Amino acid sequence: MNSIKMSRRTALSLPFGLAAMHGARAADTPRRGGTMVMIVHPEPSTLAHYAVSAGNIPPIATQIYEGLVTYDWDLNPQPNLAKSWQIAPDGKTITFKLQENVTFHNGKPFTSADVQFSFMEVLKKYHPTAPVILSEVYAVETPDPLTAVLRLNNPAPYIMKALAGRDLPIVCKAVFEGTDILNNPTANKPIGTGPFKFGQWDRGQAIRLDRNPNYWKPGLPYLDRIVARFIPDAATRSAAMETGEAHFAAYSAVNYADLARMKKNPILGETSKGYEMTPAISVLELNSKHPHLDKKEVRQAIAYAIDRKFIVDNVMYGYGVPATGPLSRKFAKAGFYTTDVRKFDVPDRLDIANKLLDSAGAPRGEGGVRFGLHLEVNSFGEQWLRQAEYLKQALAQIGIDVTLRSEDTATWLRRVYTNYDYDINEPFLSQGVDPVIGLNRQYLSSQIRKGVTFVNDSFYSNPEVDNLLLSAMREPDHDKRAAMYVKVQQILTEDCPLVWLVDVEYVSIYNKKLHDHTTGPLGTQQAFERTWMEA
């Protein structure tokens, strides 16, 4: 990747094409003013975006904290707090030129010292996932207030995909320096450089963000206020959209089951754009310490037994596609994704599954049952119980008797990731902006880490895969890198440490009075600086 320079004018003009796409019906000139109500579910427990990365925080926090870059629809970085950047040929130095005349909400100017402090002192030390992204970065140098230089031990091509406010937010050094960062008083009164300032948090109800009149992009933002509203009940959330009480709902805030009805509502629109950098798949993790699950044939049989289309249609209400392997199809654009793998969705899949089980030495016994397994139900929402109920029926077809265990989040995570007291687990894995984030965590043998959630808990250990994943992480040549990931996908679908179910499709519902709400691949997880509302 060479240097990418782009004038601010081109950067700013990008999203207007999108406005035309959404509704030419409405007025085409943005209007200043108005309050946008968006539904965020569930209510975040904290706004400490620099230390907690739960998915419900960014829709609010990215209005306040900005990143060095944003991304265009082709997932290429575009200037934001960084005006331009230069990557050295050896890939070990990245130099950022910063935007001048940017101030934080507390009036302090934004400089390279803030970048240095944010990356090295906050994110690298306290963020749950940033330490992986920044693992190769050993220093951030600040030759002058508007230049920040990242020094790397090895090339880390994925860094350029993770510089948005969602993944690596820039905080104000003056606010955090010399304090206990995890107990900073601005955790829930965040101070950033973004288009909106934190206003007020009525716990259990809403968070109000106010327009930042001193925002560094002239004339922006258009909205006076953003209110993030929290409604615990799914049916009530849908109702709030339908009555026009709320204007925007992203991710699973609106129940998939209600979408068909909402599509018919003349005041509402829907879009599946804005999730291009949020790949996620639902999977089954199989505990290979179990006497039957330690056999590849048994694991493959389970993969064959499941009708993924049924799950997509009846559990996800059509919002997703059957997963083909360990990587989301959203990586196809970057060239990492392949369908040249063992295919489980074949017409005679049940016959294959039964034969595999017979050959694995698990014959049918009394009542046609071969053996029994426990399935741990994902506690993060109703649809996972539906999926588990379906899986129980599906596996009964091949003689596996499944018992469901549905516990609350704390108990579930403890049982699976600390006690390893499980047979099948049904997590939902977000895969990050680069394969390195989703794959390494799940399949590296070094990631068998007791007590850590969402890592390699199926005890998968294959030296070849370890080797490929670690090499791909440091490979600066894109094509070589892609070839490695293709190989990884082929090996994994053969070994079947996990069963990949659904490549998830998200959808946003919006009120048609609202314009320019989805202006880039990060969707709600980037600032609504250009969003505006009809009067």
Partner 1 sequence: MRAGLSRFARNRLALLGAALLLCLLLTVILAPVAFPGDPFRLAGRPLQPPDASFPLGTDTLGRDVAAEVAYGARTSLVIGIGATLGAILFGVVIGGLAGFYRGTVEVVLMRLTEFFQTIPAFILAILIVAILSPSVTNEVIAIALVSWPAIARLVRGEFVALGGREFVLACAGLGAGDARIIFRHLLPNCLSQIIAVGSLLIGTSILIEAGLSFLGLGDPNVMSWGLVISAGRAVLRSAWWICTFPGIAILLTVLAINLAGDGLNEALNPRLRDR
Partner 2 sequence: MRLIRYIGYRLLLAVPVILGIVVLNFFLIHLAPGDAASVLAGETGAATPEYMAQLRHKFGLDQPLSAQFLHYLLNMAHLDLGYSFRNDSPVAALIFDRLWPTALLMVTAFVIALALGILLGLIAATGRNTWRDGVISLVSLVAYATPGFWLGLMMIVVFAIRLEWLPTSGFDTVGAYNEGWAEVADVARHLVMPAVALALFYLALYARLMRATVLEQAGMDYVTTARAKGQTERKVMTGHVMKNALLPIVTMAGIQAGNLIGGSIVVETVFGWPGIGTLAFDALQSRDLNLLLGIFFISACLVVVINLVVDLVYVTLDPRIEI
| Binding site residues, partner 2, CB under 8 A | 35, 37, 45-46, 48, 52-56, 126-129, 131-132, 182-183, 187-188, 202-206, 208, 225, 227, 229-233, 235-236, 239-240, 242-243, 245-246, 408-415, 417-418, 429-430, 437, 441, 449, 451-455
List Cβ neighbours of 522 (8 Å cut-off, separation of 6 or more).
Answer: 62, 70, 71, 164, 166, 274, 277, 278
- Say which amino acid occupies 338: T
Q: β-strand 137-144 against 428-430: which pairing, if any?
A: unpaired
Closer of 296 and 374 to partner 1 (Cβ): 374
**Residue 351 DSSP SS3:** helix
- Candidates 3, 106, 403, 471; binder of partner 1 (CB under 8 A) is 403
Q: Is 406 in the site for partner 1 (CB under 8 A)?
A: yes
Q: Is 235 in the site for partner 1 (CB under 8 A)?
A: yes
- Candidates 404, 448, 470, 483; binder of partner 1 (CB under 8 A) is 404
Q: Which residues pair with 196 in a beta bridge?
A: 211
Q: β-strand 400-405 against 371-376: which pairing, if any?
A: parallel
Q: How far is the CB of 167 from partner 2 (least distance, A)?
A: 12
Binding partner selected for residue 236 from partner 2, partner 1, none, CB under the kind-specific 5 to 8 Å limit? partner 2
CB 158 within 8 A of CB 93: no
- Candidates 6, 26, 257, 334; binder of partner 1 (CB under 8 A) is 257
Binding partner selected for residue 454 from partner 1, partner 2, none, CB under the kind-specific 5 to 8 Å limit? partner 2
- Candidates 56, 129, 188, 314; binder of partner 1 (CB under 8 A) is 314
Closer of 129 and 314 to partner 1 (Cβ): 314
Closer of 13 and 236 to partner 1 (Cβ): 236
Q: Which residues pair with 499 in a beta bridge?
A: 284
Binding partner selected for residue 246 from partner 2, partner 1, none, CB under the kind-specific 5 to 8 Å limit? partner 2
- The C-alpha atoms of residue 446 and residue 448 are separated, in whole angstroms, by 6
Residue closest to 257 by CA, chosen among 207, 200, 319, 167? 319
> What tokens were used for 158?
């994925």
- The C-alpha atoms of residue 130 and residue 403 are separated, in whole angstroms, by 37
Q: Is 258 in the site for partner 1 (CB under 8 A)?
A: yes
Q: How far is the CB of 447 from partner 2 (least distance, A)?
A: 10
Q: How far is the CB of 185 from partner 2 (least distance, A)?
A: 9
Piece in contact with partner 1 (CB under 8 A), picked from 138-146, 308-316, 506-514, 522-530:
308-316
Piece in contact with partner 1 (CB under 8 A), picked from 12-20, 286-294, 380-388, 454-462:
380-388
Binding partner selected for residue 212 from partner 2, partner 1, none, CB under the kind-specific 5 to 8 Å limit? none
CB 322 within 8 A of CB 503: yes
Binding partner selected for residue 229 from partner 1, partner 2, none, CB under the kind-specific 5 to 8 Å limit? partner 2
- Say which amino acid occupies 450: K
Piece in contact with partner 1 (CB under 8 A), picked from 273-281, 374-382, 425-433, 439-447:
374-382
Q: Which residues pair with 511 in a beta bridge?
A: 268
- The C-alpha atoms of residue 392 and residue 239 are separated, in whole angstroms, by 33
Residue closest to 356 by CA, chosen among 292, 413, 281? 292
CB 431 within 8 A of CB 437: yes
> What tokens were used for 156?
């880390």
Binding partner selected for residue 174 from partner 1, partner 2, none, CB under the kind-specific 5 to 8 Å limit? none
Q: β-strand 424-425 against 371-376: which pairing, if any?
A: parallel
Beta strands in 93-168 (DSSP E): 93-98, 137-144, 147-152
Q: Which residues pair with 248 in a beta bridge?
A: 38, 510
- What angle is formed at CA 163 by the lines to CA 159 and CA 168, rounded to 5 degrees? 105
Q: Is 315 in the site for partner 1 (CB under 8 A)?
A: yes
Q: How far is the CB of 164 from partner 2 (least distance, A)?
A: 16
Q: Is 234 in the site for partner 1 (CB under 8 A)?
A: yes
Q: How far is the CB of 257 from partner 1 (least distance, A)?
A: 4
- What angle is formed at CA 483 by the lines to CA 478 and CA 486, rounded to 5 degrees? 125
Residues that bind partner 1 (CB under 8 A): 234-235, 238, 255-258, 260-261, 313-315, 377, 379, 382-383, 385-386, 388-390, 392-393, 403-408, 410-411
